[in-house]
Structure 1
Amino acid sequence: MQLRLDHESDQRTDHESDTASPLSTVTVDAPARLHLGFLDPSGSLGRAFGSVGLTIDAPGTRITAQYIDHADHAGETQVTGAHADAQRERITHYLGLLHDAYGGPPVRIDVRRAPRAHAGLGSGTQLALGVGTAFVRLLGRTASTAELARLLGRGARSGIGTLGFDHGGLIVDSGSSARSGAHHEPHVPSILTRLPFPDAWRILLVDDTRQEGLHGNEERRALATLAPFPKELAAHLCHLVLMLVLPGIAEHDFDAFAKGISELQQTIGEYFAPAQGGVFSSPTVAAAINAAKAATQHRAGIGQTSWGPTGFAFVQNAQDAERALAAATDVTRGIAGVVCSVAAGSNRGASIHAVGLQRCHSGPA
């Protein structure tokens, strides 16, 4: 028997705790995401960060979990298909945490697909949640995405990856409050709003594979060197989101959305510029994105996702996407390692394909 569950907002109820008979195979497909900017990195009103983000239909993360056949192996957890030793070690670490929390026999995790790490597409969070969801489903257990994120150390600063895993679409999260300090357990930011992204709009993506975005200790050191984010700028970013970005999405007003995103990105990019070497971390990506904007007669919303190096240009339709892609490709022609592509928004979260299920429910992953 096969079951496919699509995690959309009306299907997830965090209070459910049903269990099911163990499965033989579970595959989780998690979407890639763009992090479109923080609202208040310094928490001038007591809530730090706050994020805007979007899930996209570019290749995301696909994880398959299976029980290990003890007749063929020594009963040790296995990781196959990992793109690098660091990814394999990370998954092995996650499996150790999951076994400690939920028990169960050793499993094999196969990485069928994953975006390039540290490129700004949310690969780390989607990898963790994909592994966690596949693991608990394989055991016939349930755990909310927020529970898995806390266990695996994801989503404390930005909730876009975790909330996008559940819901998809364009999301604004609450950031973290002062209560989330040393005396309180870290929690995933709450979802403030979620809007479906217009089907006709497209996103040009430009990735400079010669670089990686800041992460780990380097990211923490970089954040520590930045001056406090001015309260006035935080108010300006919130104003842009509330009065341009969200109305633009809700009313399919592309020009309002593009203006709001571009100004949000410019403002937050200037703040992070001392840590990442400019508004864009890759000058090559910056040149390609600006060429794409010019090719659409400056009717594009541009910026960089997270620490980059991937840059993006939102355009209104497929024809503008072709023009933007041609312009970006022309600028980067002959530069090895630069990848230009076009994606659309994705209005659905992760999906689960389970084999061997005897009894099922549609509760949280």
Structure 2
Amino acid sequence: MACAVTLKAPSRLHFGLVDLGGVTRRAFGGAGCFLQHPSTLIRFSPLQTNLCIGEGTPDHFRADLDVALAALQTRFPDAIGEVEILETPDSHTGLGSKTSAVLGCLKSVVLGNALCVDDDELKRMSRRGGASGVGVHGFFEGGMIVDCGHSERPHGPWLPSGAYDIEALPVKAVRLPMPPSWKVHLMAPRGSIVSGETERAFFEEATPLAREEVLQTLAAIWHGIVPAVLGRDLELFRESLRDLSRCGLKEKELQAQPNSRHLLTRIDDIGKLAAGMSSMGPLVYAVSESSSSAAEPLEELCKELDAIYIGTTTFANSGYTVT
């Protein structure tokens, strides 16, 4: 018998993608981490005799949810209930809301119907993770994820994640807990929402990346961000995110978001803050020690630059939760 489920999924920061140039033996790959807030809240109700999407679910999620839930229903024809997204961060701002929403809906239906299915099968049903596996792996585990992308290079231009219908999941290389003594400040400068055909056109113009750009990105992640998190070294984390912003795809993403790039330059002037732009932006994040009084100068800076200081949160070192 089906039962009610309320599921909360953390949001995601994506530091950057790696190989969009065919330089290494892997395609794409990336690094990112998860946040306690904002989060995606999903409710599953066993009141329906079929499987359906609740009326309150935002329209821009419905096409992806239809595909994912159809795959689940094919596997489990007797699954029933209504799944509804109650709260979610804005789409295409850098917080990974679509991956959290699709996987959250799938998982809530599975839990509500007591279905036996492993996490990797749900990841494949979600059709997410076409470029980087940060979102699909971190939904279940939280913390920081570094993945090695896919074994096959795309046949044609390098495109955003949603353009690929994947069969094999991106390989997770590292999952690390983020330091609990660090806190995160989120800011939203005025900028473009890059999605759909605009995002596709950006990727076609910005890639393929040169060999040097890919290797610099690899160095910033594997010999910078990873040891910084392992050693809880905020200064190394700061320097590594700065290095990442000056090479590879991340440099080009920032060129497409001049207000985010300017805000990061000004944050760097404050000092002792590790900062970057998540995914295609325009969301900007800054990481400080929990004892730091960084909130006040960042709020003042946002007022000066006509940006929104969203607030302060902490890292999520676990994945989704259920009540």
Same fold (TM over 0.5): yes
- Please give the TM-score of this superposition, normalised by the length of structure 1: 0.78
Match of residue 167 from structure 1: 141
Report the Cα offset of residue 208 of structure 1: 4.0
C-alpha displacement at 1:270, in angstroms?
A: 5.9
Alignment of 1:1-365 (within 5 A): 22-69=1-48, 77-82=52-57, 84-178=58-152, 186-208=167-189, 211-212=192-193, 214-268=194-248, 271-273=251-253, 278-279=254-255, 281-283=257-259, 285-295=260-270, 298-333=271-306, 338-353=308-323
Provide the C-alpha distance between the structure 2 equivalents of 1:289 and 1:172, rounded to a whole number of angstroms.
Answer: 23
The CA deviation string for residues 7-48 of structure 1, in whole angstroms up to 9 with x for no partner, is xxxxxxxxxxxxxxx431122211101000112222312211
Letter in 2 for 1:265: S
- 2 CA distance for matches of 1:185 and 1:91? 16
In structure 2, distance between residues paired with 1:58 and 1:176 = 30
Q: When the two structures are superposed, what TM-score results if normalisation uses the length of structure 2?
A: 0.87
Q: What is the CA-CA distance between 1:271 and the residue it aligns to? A: 4.6
State the number of aligned residues: 315
Counterpart amino acid of 2:178? F
Work out the CA distance in 2 between the residues paired with 1:322 and 1:302: 13
Q: 1:93 to 1:258 in 2, by over 3 A?
A: same
For the 8 Å contact 1:202–1:321, the answer to whether it is kept is no
Q: Cα–Cα, structure 1 residues 324 and 162, in superposed 2: closer, same or farther, change >3 Å? A: farther
Name the aligned partner's letter for residue 238 of structure 1: L
CA distances 1:101-160 after superposition (whole Å, capped 9, x unpaired) = 321254211212111111110001011100111112222113233322222211121100
Q: Distance in 2 between matches of 1:202 and 1:324?
A: 15
Give me the whole-angstrom Cα distance separating, in 1, the residues matched to 2:5 and 2:302: 39
Alignment CA distance shift 1:129-1:346 (3 Å): same
Alignment partners' CA distance in 2, 1:341 and 1:286: 19
The answer to whether the Cα contact below 8 Å between 1:207 and 1:311 also exists between their aligned partners in 2 is yes
Q: Go from structure 1 to structure 2 and tell me whether the alpha carbon gap of 1:217 and 1:211 turns closer, same or farther (over 3 Å shift).
A: closer
Return the alpha-carbon distance in structure 2 between the equivalents of residues 54 and 201 of structure 1.
13
Contact preservation (8 Å) 1:211, 1:309: yes
CA contact (8 A) 2:187 2:302 kept: no
Q: Would the aligned equivalents of 2:42 and 2:85 in 1 still touch at CA under 8 Å?
A: yes
**1:240 Cα deviation (Å)?**
2.2
DSSP 3-state at the match of 2:247: helix
Alpha-carbon distance in structure 2 between the residues aligned to 1:76 and 1:140? 14
Structure 2: stretches of 5+ with no match in the other structure? 157-164
Q: Which amino acid aligns with 1:63?
A: I
Cα RMSD over matched residues? 2.6
Contact 1:32-1:56 within 8 A present in 2 as well: yes
Give the partner amino acid of 1:200. Answer: S
Cα distance in 2 for partners of 1:321, 1:257 equals 16
1:324, CA displacement in angstroms? 4.2
Gap regions ≥5 residues in structure 1: 1-21, 354-365
Q: Please give the secondary structure, in 2, of the residue aligned with 1:118.
A: coil
Amino acid at match of 2:152: A
Shift of 1:225: 2.2
> Aligned equivalents of 1:163 and 1:78: distance in 2?
24
In the TM superposition, what whole-angstrom CA distance separates every residue of 1:255-293 from its partner, at most 9, and x where no partner exists? Answer: 1111011111221356524xxxx436251x333333333
1:12 corresponds in structure 2 to none
On the 8 A contact 2:209/2:249 being kept in 1, the answer is no
What do residues 198-255 of structure 1 show as CA deviations (whole Å, max 9, x unaligned)? 112122211247642x223432332122242122222222222222211111111111
Choose 1 or 2 for highest CA Rg.
Answer: 1
Whether the 8 Å CA contact 1:321–1:342 is kept in 2: the answer is no
Separation in 1 of the partners of 2:27 and 2:276? 21
In percent, how many aligned pairs have the same letter?
24
SS of residue paired to 1:306: coil
Describe the shift of the 1:266–1:202 C-alpha distance in structure 2 as closer, same or farther (beyond 3 A): farther
Structure showing greater relative contact order (alpha-carbon pairs closer than 8 Å, 6 or more residues apart): 1
Q: Is the 8 A contact 2:48 2:81 kept in 1?
A: no
CA drift of 1:92 comes to: 3.7
Contact 1:79/1:92, CA 8 A, preserved across alignment = no
| Whole-Å separation in 2 of the counterparts to 1:155 and 1:257 | 25
Secondary structure of 1:158's partner?
A: coil
